[in-house]
Amino acid sequence: MLETAKRIAVLTGAGISAESGIPTFRGAGGLWKNFRPEELATPEAFERDPATVWEWYLWRRELIAKAEPNRGHRALAELEERTPDFALITQNVDALHDRAGSRRILKVHGDIWTNRCQRCARETETLSGERPPRCGCGGFLRPGVVWFGEELPRAVWQEAERAAGRAEVMLVVGTSAQVYPAAGLVPYARQNGAMVIEINLEPTAVSNSVDLHLWGPSGEILPQII
Ligand code: OAD
Distance 9 CA to ligand 1 centre (A): 18
**What one-letter code names the amino acid at 218?**
S
Q: Residue 98 CB: number of other CB atoms within 10 A?
A: 18
Calculate the average pLDDT of the chain.
Answer: 96
Distance 135 CA to ligand 1 centre (A): 32
* Residue 32 confidence (pLDDT) above 90: no
**Hey, which bits of the chain come out as E strands?**
7-12, 85-90, 105-107, 110-117, 141-145, 169-173, 195-200, 212-215
pLDDT in tens, 109-140: 999 999 999 999 999 987 888 899 999 999 99
Q: Residue 141 CB: number of other CB atoms within 10 A?
A: 23
Can you give the pTM of this predicted structure?
A: 0.97
Position in ligand 1 atom list of the atom nearest CA 12: 26
Q: What are the chain's domains?
A: 1-22+69-109+152-226 (3.40.50.1220), 23-66+114-145 (3.30.1600.10)
Pocket-testing residue among 20, 22, 25, 46, ligand 1, by greatest number of atoms within 8 A of Cβ: 25
pLDDT in tens, 195-212: 999 999 999 999 999 999
Summarize the confidence of residues 34-56 as an average pLDDT.
93
Nearest CA to ligand 1 atom 30: 179
**What one-letter code names the amino acid at 118?**
Q
85, with CB counted inside 10 A (0-12, 13-18, 19+), is middle
Percent of the chain with pLDDT over 90: 91
* Residue 175 confidence (pLDDT) above 90: yes
Distance 179 CA to ligand 1 centre (A): 10
User: What local confidence, expressed as pLDDT, does residue 35 receive?
Assistant: 86
